[in-house]
Structure 1
Amino acid sequence: MSVVSQIPAAPGPEAQAHFQRRLGFETDCADVWYASHHETRDFVLLDVRTPTLFAAGHVPGALNMPVRTIGEQRLADYPPETLFVVYCAGPHCNGANKAALKLARLGRPVKEMIGGLTGWLDEGFGLERG
C-alpha cells in the first residue's frame, strides 16, 4: 500500500461537499484570465501587494489595494454585493488570505486567486506595468 492510498479517499458525497466548499473560497488564474477575456468581468480584482511591487508588474485590470488600506472607507464606492478576488505574490505569501479575511469581516463577498502572481506567470499570462 502506498503513502497515497494509506488513508482512503473520502466517500463521494463527502468529497463533493468538500470540493464544492473550496470553490466558494477560491478561483484560479486561468478562470480569472478566461473571465477577463471572454466574459463580462463580474468581480473586482485586487492586487494586495505594495504599490511599488504593483507598479513593477500586476495582473492586467487589477486594482492595487494593499492589505493595510482595506476598510469601509476604501470600499465605499462598491455596492455591498461586489465580489472581490484578491491575490498577492504567490503561494509563499499570505497577503491574499489577510485581505480576504478583512473583506469577509466587512461582510464583502471574496475569493482568493490561488497561485497569486506566481501562478499567473506560471500559466504564461502577461503583466501590466505602471
Structure 2
Amino acid sequence: MPSRITDVKPATAQTATEHFAKKFEFETDCWDVHESMRTGKMDFVLLDVRGHASYVAGHVPGALSLPHGKITATHMAEWPDDTVFVVYCAGPHCNGADRGALRLARLGRPVKLMLGGMTGWEDEGFVIERGEQAGSVAQPA
C-alpha cells in the first residue's frame, strides 16, 4: 500500500518544471527583496498592504503603506502603468497580500507577492523600521 505521499502519483519532471517556474512570475521572497534593496536594484515598489497602524508598529524599510482596501485606480495613477509592485502583509496566516495583489492585477498592474510577509522578514533577521516615515504613505518613490 502506498504512503499518503505516493498515493497520488507525482507530476512528471516536465510538468513540475512548468509549475515551479510559473510560481516565480507570481512570488518573490524576503531574501530577494532584501538583496534587491541592499544592492540598490529597486526596480519595483514595495507595498505594505496591512492596516496603517500595523505599518507604523513595524514594517520593511522602504515599504509604502497602502492598505489593500485602498488600492484603487486613483491611488495607482501616481505610478507609470508598467511599475512592478511587490506586496506583503503580516505573514503566512494572512491573506491581505493576496487581496492586494488581486486588486492590483484587476487594475492591470504587474504584481508579485512577497512570501512570508512580516513574519518571514523577521524570521530572516532583517531590520524592521518603526513609526511613520516621511512620505511613506501611498506616495510614489
TM-score range, shorter chain: over 0.9
Q: Secondary structure at the match of 2:3?
A: coil
**Percent pairwise identity:** 54
What residue is the counterpart of 1:53 in the other structure? 54
CA distance in 1, matches of 2:120, 2:7: 30
Q: Distance in 2 between matches of 1:3 and 1:124?
A: 35
1:38 and 1:7 mapped to 2: Cα distance? 43
How far off is 1:50 after superposition? 1.1
Greater displacement, 117-126 / 1-10: 1-10
Shift of 1:89: 0.3
2:125 corresponds to:
124
Matches within 5 A, 1:1-130: 1-130=2-131
What SS does the aligned partner of 2:113 have? strand
SS in 2 for 1:118: helix
Deviating 4+ runs (over 4 angstroms): none
User: Once the two structures are superposed, what CA deviation does each residue of 1:92-119 show, in whole Å capped at 9, x if it has no partner?
Assistant: 1110000000000000000000111001
RMSD: 1.0
Structure 2, unaligned stretches of length 5 or more? 132-141
1:22-54 CA-partner distances (Å, limit 9, x unpaired) = 111110111101111024110000000111110
Structure 1 unaligned blocks of 5 or more = none
Corresponding residue pairs, total: 130
C-alpha distance in 1, partners of 2:113/2:119? 14
What TM-score comes out, normalization by structure 2 length? 0.88
Shift of 1:18: 0.4
What's the CA shift for 1:6?
2.8
**How far apart in 1 are the matches of 2:118 and 2:44?**
18
